[in-house]
Structure 1
Amino acid sequence: MHKEVTYTIQQVAQKTGLSKQVIRKWETRYNVIQPARLANGYRTYTEAELTILQRTQQFVKDGYTIAEAAERAKQTMLSASQPFSTLTAHDFLQALESVGARADEQQLMQLLHKAHHTLGLLTMIDTVIVPFLLRVGQLWCDRTWTEYQEAISSQTIRDFLANARRQIFVAEDAPLIIGSCLPEERHEIPMQLLLLRCALTGYKTLMLGPAPAPRAIEQAVQQKLPIAILLSVSTPTSEAILAPLERFARTTDVPFFLGGHGTDHLPISLTHIHVNNHLHSILSKIATVS
């Protein structure tokens, strides 16, 4: 397996002609790059980060401010003609944050597809999509990003995940798993991630979407006869939402599973809806029924 080439700050200084102090300043003050750090705290730089520094340096010589030069350097890295084979998950994360700050939906989607083709779907989910979603949440909570920037980035991720899931080949006679947010719950990305992994495992999947009508879940079970129902809740829910589903789960042999941050403080005790936040465990239980 080809090992990724990385550089120390001393090597970057030699290759660019920039002092180590300037490289650190461009990182901390202007966010030109965000190098990874080893356990001992030393920075390591990728080939892509070295290129960004070199291009930033050239744009500064052309008369641009450091901030403008850094932005232009990153843009050249995102051009359609630029080969991404040498880029790492870390590089894609930096590029996504830069594009997300501009709320550029088209370029966000382009980057996601390039990351998919470069890293592979599962690796991309674990090393790019999940960390980027956490970063988006942090930027929004810190008020560094507006609600608009957060919304565009999150919706683009959701669309990418939904389309990726639909393109996975699954046998026609494969058992069906239905996924849904609870009624009034609008955070659907966690369920999109779960169903994508289910599809990669070989299950047919159906997503009911965010905030479904109260009886939509019951009707889907009755009409589609799934092998399991996955429910997600990221925010606090009410007894009025959970109690009808608990009663319905009691009347069917289809197992119901509920996961998400909202399960930390449920308003009622659940007996027929199984609280489980580990997909591997859920799939193991489903396999015993299928």
Structure 2
Amino acid sequence: MSTYSIKDLEQLSGIKAHTLRIWEQRYNLLSPKRTDTNIRYYDDADLKLILNVAFLNDNGFKISKIAGMSEAEMRKEVVSLTEKNLTHDDQINALTICMIEMDEKRFDKVLSTNILKIGFEQTMMNIIYPFLSKIGVLWQTGAINPAQEHFISNLVRQKLIVAIDGQIYKDGGKKFLLFLPEGELHEIAILFAAYLIKSRGHKVIYLGQNTPKEDLLYVYKLHNPEYLLTVITTSPSAENVQEYVNALSERFNKSQILLSGYQIVGQDFTFPKNVKAMNYVRQIKEYLDEIEEVLIEK
């Protein structure tokens, strides 16, 4: 069982700690426990409760009414609301509840509903990516545990693979070789890039996680792609990124190299002429649109 401070509840729910304390005193919403040294803490049940309370309160329910609901009544209202045409922030909060409860069925329902309403690409751009950014911060601060983060990441990964498989390549377009450097395992961004590229009629050669240099070079020589795309999140380490980028540029000098990831975005690197940094996923989409315009003109 995980334990949370009131600051953790504030980060996860978006409700100020001061407000949580008032609700606790006035409506007896929460039941903090105490450690042997008399420090207050909250458990998983408290977190699930306050996430549902926050969600309902954000959607017009008065706190006095919420306080009178049973757990089952509260959950029923939350489920009903997430199936309606809510804001992106509401959907992100709904996914957060699914993550905390590790509720795969509900998570899948929220995603599927949004995909039907606004399409897969917009769901990724406006809901999944902001949601993943949120849980990345929460994971770093210890507000959620690694199991919850892995649970969600794998569900998103499954959705991406299905979406990619649904794109049928036809002759034409450009060749893109996608890979992650040796030691790099964070695959969501590069999978979404594969979807974007393939959905626009280009050919994707996907090598995935932890690609050895020798394998990358072998596939490159075999297919001669016009573009290489990689995402650097944790590997190589910050002090080795510039050297790695320079080596990529020299080794694959006949191709355009597209880079993104935590170790690239906002960093003060010198990029060779055939290397382009992408600060966020929308830039990949914009770059593909530019390629499309060139192809149409030709």
Q: Deviations over 1:15-35 (max 9, x none)?
A: xxxxxx97x977999233446
Task: Give, in whole Å, the separation in 2 of the partners of 1:216 and 1:75.
Answer: 51
Deviation at 1:103, TM superposition (A): 2.6
Q: Which runs of structure 2 are paired with 1:1-290 in the superposition (5 Å)?
A: 30-34=50-54, 45-46=58-59, 50=61, 57-59=68-70, 69=71, 73-74=74-75, 77-78=78-79, 84-235=83-234, 237=236, 238=240, 241-242=244-245, 244-250=247-253, 253-263=254-264, 270-271=271-272, 273-277=274-278, 278-280=283-285, 282-283=287-288, 286=291, 288=294
Asked whether the 8 Å contact 1:52–1:73 carries over to 2, the reply is no
Pick closer, same or farther for the CA change 1:284–1:218 going to 2, 3 Å.
farther
Task: Give, in whole Å, the separation in 1 of the partners of 2:63 and 2:85.
Answer: 13
| CA-based RMSD | 3.9
Once the two structures are overlaid, the 10-residue window that deviates more, 207-216 or 262-271, is 262-271
Unaligned residue ranges in structure 2 (runs of 5+): 1-21, 31-46
Asked whether the 8 Å contact 1:214–1:241 carries over to 2, the reply is no
> Any idea what SS the aligned residue of 1:95 has?
helix
Q: Taking every aligned residue pair, what percent have the same amino acid on both sides?
A: 17
Deviation at 1:94, TM superposition (A): 1.9
> Which residue is equivalent to 2:13?
none
Unaligned residue ranges in structure 1 (runs of 5+): 1-20, 37-42, 60-68
Task: Give, in whole Å, the separation in 2 of the partners of 1:266 and 1:197.
Answer: 25
Task: Give, in whole Å, the separation in 1 of the partners of 2:265 and 2:92.
Answer: 30
* TM-score normalized by the length of structure 2: 0.66
Pick closer, same or farther for the CA change 1:285–1:30 going to 2, 3 Å.
closer
> Which residue is equivalent to 1:13?
none
The AA in structure 1 aligned to 2:194 is L
Task: Give, in whole Å, the separation in 2 of the partners of 1:72 and 1:151.
Answer: 30
Deviation at 1:52, TM superposition (A): 11
Task: Give, in whole Å, the separation in 1 of the partners of 2:266 and 2:127.
Answer: 30
Deviation at 1:50, TM superposition (A): 4.9
> Which residue is equivalent to 1:9?
none
The AA in structure 2 aligned to 1:279 is I
> Any idea what SS the aligned residue of 1:182 has?
coil
> Any idea what SS the aligned residue of 1:152 has?
helix
> Which residue is equivalent to 1:6?
none
Pick closer, same or farther for the CA change 1:53–1:214 going to 2, 3 Å.
farther
Pick closer, same or farther for the CA change 1:222–1:98 going to 2, 3 Å.
same
Once the two structures are overlaid, the 10-residue window that deviates more, 162-171 or 133-142, is 162-171
Count of aligned pairs: 247
Once the two structures are overlaid, the 10-residue window that deviates more, 173-182 or 82-91, is 82-91
The AA in structure 2 aligned to 1:245 is L
Task: Give, in whole Å, the separation in 2 of the partners of 1:127 and 1:53.
Answer: 32
Task: Give, in whole Å, the separation in 2 of the partners of 1:183 and 1:35.
Answer: 41
Task: Give, in whole Å, the separation in 2 of the partners of 1:198 and 1:275.
Answer: 16
